[in-house]
Amino acid sequence: MWIFKFLSLCLILWLGGCAWLGKSPPEEKPEADWTVERFYAEAKAALNAGDYQKAITFYEQLEARYPFGVYAQQALLESAYAYYKFNEPESALAALDRFIRLYPLNSHMDYAHYLKGLVSFHRGVGIVERYIPRDETQRDPESARNALKSFKTLIQRFPDSKYAEDSAQRIVYLRNRLAQHEINVAHYYMRRGAYIGAINRAKYVVENYQRTPPVPEALTIMARGYEILGLNELKEDTLRILELSFPGHSGIAKARTLKAVK
């Protein structure tokens, strides 16, 4: 009898062990039940791992389910960075504009303006251009103007920000780039015989991009244009400024050798 009981007990233990071994692991908690902290942690982990598409998905879900509070604010800002790294500048700028509008007192507002400047700064640069240098003054200047505006806003509003120094350096670069773009257009107008258009473009550089390298070239174009149009008084005034500010510049002699249009 005791042998029968012993065998029955072993059978019960064996069946219980098989049931335990065959039991499926606990299922992963569905996203529908995630807390805001869980959503943020998953999004942040994906962001840090460079999986920007996954991070964007989690940030968007967080905002949709928990639209208020500090996590929603941080998610919106970090999703903008994820969009930027995922090469979706339009979505990044839209997220940043919404963040700046909705949370003007957020402690990371300086970073929002800095990131907005970076997105515009790199906007429109294709994969090929990242490896093959291109004259950026030939590109559409609108993104450069927007970047300049964002960096200037940062420095004006947050002069002590840790992003201010880098923004200041980028401002110098962007002003030089935009000034040279205007010079390129002015030269094009000169070649086409649109002298008034060329003069206006050059004048814009002198008035709006002081202390940039293209300024002497802008004065030269103005003087040459005035000479061709027979506006001698304006030509002499421009050459006087050019000689005082940039003595010995080669453009002075060039301007004096041109003749007025008959």
Question: In order along the chain (262 residues), what is the average pLDDT of each group of 10 residues?
Answer: 49 48 51 86 96 96 92 96 96 97 96 98 61 52 95 97 97 96 96 96 96 95 93 93 86 65 48
Q: Determine the pLDDT at residue 221.
A: 95
Long-range contacts of 202-207 (CB under 8 A, 24+ apart): 205/179
Q: Determine the pLDDT at residue 241.
A: 92
Instruction: Report d(CA 183, CA 178) in Å as an integer.
Output: 9
Q: Determine the pLDDT at residue 125.
A: 58
CATH topology of domain 35-92: 1.25.40
The residues, any chain, with a CB within 8 Å of residue 31's CB and separated by 6 or more, are 39, 61
Q: Determine the pLDDT at residue 145.
A: 95
How many CB atoms neighbour CB 12 within 10 A? 10
Q: Determine the pLDDT at residue 258.
A: 59
* In contact, 221 and 254? CB cutoff 8 Å: no
Q: Determine the pLDDT at residue 163.
A: 97
Q: pTM score > 0.85 for this model?
A: no
Q: Determine the pLDDT at residue 206.
A: 96
